[in-house]
Amino acid sequence: MNFKLEKNLAIQILILTGVFVALYSHAIATLIYDWSNNANFSHGFLIPFVAAYMVWHKKETLKTIEIKSSPAGIGVIVFGMLCYLAGTIGSELFVMRSSMIITISGMVIYLFGFQIFKAVLIPILYLILMIPIPAIIWNKIAFPLQLFAANLSSGMVHLLGIPVLRDGNILHLANTSLEVVDACSGIRSLTSLLALSGAFAFIAPLGNFKKWVLFFSALPIAVVVNIVRLTITAVMATYIGPEAAQGFLHEMSGILVFAVALALVYLVFIIELKFEK
């Protein structure tokens, strides 16, 4: 690529990036607000930076691909704009925010071509994890998870010889009652663990199939460790006191259990790596 083409490409990148930021300034501002005020989506702050690192990680591969601008990208950009317009008119934040990813895809295709777009498709799709799940979908996932976690936790507590009565998502112990609320359903740790395992799987020296196995291993791991956390909380509440189910001890148990979940994901990687060789 000669200097003139590089200069023209740089100008196009600056113009399209400026227009993108101006157009999506409100959507970006609302995203930052949700990340700041909703603990379920606080991991969103890291997603753009992780996606950028994922692209940088493929820099050697990208250097070998010829930049070949495609006019088809304009069509993708227009489609993204229509989705943005529809989301704005319908006050549907998820559609409006998701249109950013479509628009970014169109910009990459238009500026660099389909081959480079294919090479960075996973980092672009990874950006979906920064967008909060619509409440109607979140509730349909979270509440069944609450009931599931409460059911299995009560069974484990009973096996430990501790009297417990489950009423829906509430565990009645001898000295207190524990409610498996939305934050204890496990979906919060699940979304965060998926984000981390996705980035780890992308850079892991594994075949494509094993990368997907590593990524999706976060699902059962997050559910299991959350059930273990609820069981430990019930045991602590029984033998230490109701205060153990809240405050510092409760928060620390959440951090420790999440660390265990990360260790288990890494263990899956070690096992896969062993069979990879």
Whether residues 123 and 206 fall in one domain: no
Q: pLDDT confidence of 184, banded at 50, 70, 90?
A: low
**Which amino acid, residue 40?**
N
Domain boundary among 107, 132, 157: 132
Read off the pTM. Answer: 0.80
Tell me what pLDDT residue 276 has. Answer: 65
pLDDT of residue 3: 47
Instruction: Indicate the length of the chain as a whole number.
Output: 277
Token duo for residue 185:
């359903």
Residues 17 and 101 in one domain: yes
Q: Is residue 21 domain-shared with residue 94, that is, in the same domain?
A: yes
Q: Are residues 165 and 92 part of one domain?
A: no
Number of domains present in the structure of the chain: 2
Helix (H, G, I), strand (E, B) or coil at 170: strand
pLDDT in tens, 213-265: 999 998 888 888 888 888 888 887 777 766 666 665 666 777 788 888 889 99
pLDDT digits (tens, 9 = 90+) for 37-74: 887 788 888 899 999 999 998 888 888 888 888 889 99
Which residue range is the domain that position 53 belongs to? 3-132
Question: Domain end: 83, 105, 132, which one?
Answer: 132
Task: Please list the residues that pair with 172 across neighbouring strands.
Answer: 165, 177
Do 82 and 8 belong to one domain? Answer: yes
pLDDT at 247: 60
Rounded CA gap, 127 and 242, in Å?
40
| 22 & 107 share domain | yes
Q: Two tokens at 144?
A: 């069944």
- Shared-domain flag, residues 121 and 162: no
Query: What is the strand order of the sheet 177-179 is part of?
Result: 165-167, 170-172, 177-179
Residue 33 sits in the same domain as residue 126 = yes
Instruction: Please say whether the dihedral angle defined by the alpha carbons of residues 35, 40, 45 and 48, taken in this order, is positive or negative.
Output: negative
Q: Are residues 95 and 191 in the same domain?
A: no
pLDDT in tens, 82-119: 999 998 888 888 899 999 999 999 999 998 999 999 99
Q: Assess whether 127 and 158 both reside in one domain.
A: no
Judge whether residue 124 has pLDDT over 60: yes
